Amino acid sequence: MEEKKPRRQGAAVRDGIVQYPHLFIAALALALVLMDPFHLGPLAGIDYRPVKHELAPYREVMQRWPRDNGSRLRLGRLEFVNEVFGPESIEFDRQGRGPYAGLADGRVVRWMGDKAGWETFAVMNPDWSEKVCANGVESTTKKQHGKEKWCGRPLGLRFHRETGELFIADAYYGLMAVGERGGVATSLAREAGGDPVHFANDLDIHMNGSIFFTDTSTRYSRKDHLNILLEGEGTGRLLRYDRETGAVHVVLNGLVFPNGVQISQDQQFLLFSETTNCR
């Protein structure tokens, strides 16, 4: 009698597995997905360090914000559909020509009117080639990810009102500049405070010649920007390039996906946004 007990328990366990094979397989599949032993998942090989954040209080923020109660944006119309892909920033030059836009294929292009259409104004890489980089609608998809580091990804654009130069924050090439006539942009800053500029995003030019720009993350590049959002990591920086000395200063660090930058008209303050925090 006493001997029988353990045997029955063993039989019950065996019965359990045999009785619910689909559950067993489902549990095994779940464990495989979670543990990803073959490194096939989207986070494979990434040192994932999630951070908790408080989002900006939506209601409170919106209450203080002047409402566009006519919803005027709704009345806008889409321009240049299927002509330019992934424009991130829009600028006009001193003569009022434009818009200029930085595209997903690595070019800065400008609109020269109905007759001439879009023309290439600047590239970041002297070897930029249409064959490698210009992939139409595909240039905004994953297919571009392997190439964009080479082709460039100009994000922020700003013309210097006095010199006429165009300053560019390129996600891979860092802070760049090109003369009024365009061409191949030259690099101004690819490093700050001992760390490479990993993901330059936007810029603005101070009247005294300093250029403030954001470096969105020191860990992830543009193509992996979703990881910055998922993880909530805060290694972004606000940088200042000093035109006279060529030095780059870290103004702020520990920022959470710093993105757009704007200096106030009286040059007294600077606004920037953090994307992950929605603030």
Ligand X SMILES: *[C@@H]1O[C@H](CO)[C@@H](O)[C@H](O)[C@H]1NC(C)=O
- CB half-sphere exposure, 169, CA atoms < 13 A: 32
Q: Would you say 3 or 68 has its CB closer to ligand X?
A: 68
Dist CA 263 CA 267 (whole Å): 6
Q: Would you say 38 or 65 has its CB closer to ligand X?
A: 65
**Vertex 130: Cα angle to 127 and 135 (nearest 5):** 130
Please count the other Cβ atoms lying within 10 Å of the Cβ belonging to residue 152: 28
Beta bridge partners of 168: 157, 176
- CA dihedral defined by 207, 265, 111, 260, rounded to 10 degrees? 90
Q: Would you say 228 or 248 has its CB closer to ligand X?
A: 248
Distance of closest approach, residue 192 Cβ to ligand X, in angstroms: 14
Q: Would you say 145 or 206 has its CB closer to ligand X?
A: 206
Distance of closest approach, residue 188 Cβ to ligand X, in angstroms: 15
Dist CA 165 CA 177 (whole Å): 7
Backbone angles phi, psi at 19, to 5 degrees: -70, -35
Distance of closest approach, residue 68 Cβ to ligand X, in angstroms: 7
Distance of closest approach, residue 169 Cβ to ligand X, in angstroms: 18
Binding site for ligand X (CB under 6 A): 66-67, 69, 206, 208-210, 242, 244
Q: Would you say 63 or 82 has its CB closer to ligand X?
A: 63
Dist CA 162 CA 141 (whole Å): 37
Q: Would you say 224 or 242 has its CB closer to ligand X?
A: 242
Distance of closest approach, residue 163 Cβ to ligand X, in angstroms: 15
Distance of closest approach, residue 199 Cβ to ligand X, in angstroms: 23
Dist CA 118 CA 167 (whole Å): 20
Q: Would you say 114 or 244 has its CB closer to ligand X?
A: 244
Distance of closest approach, residue 271 Cβ to ligand X, in angstroms: 13
Residue that is written with structure tokens 């993350």 in the block: 217
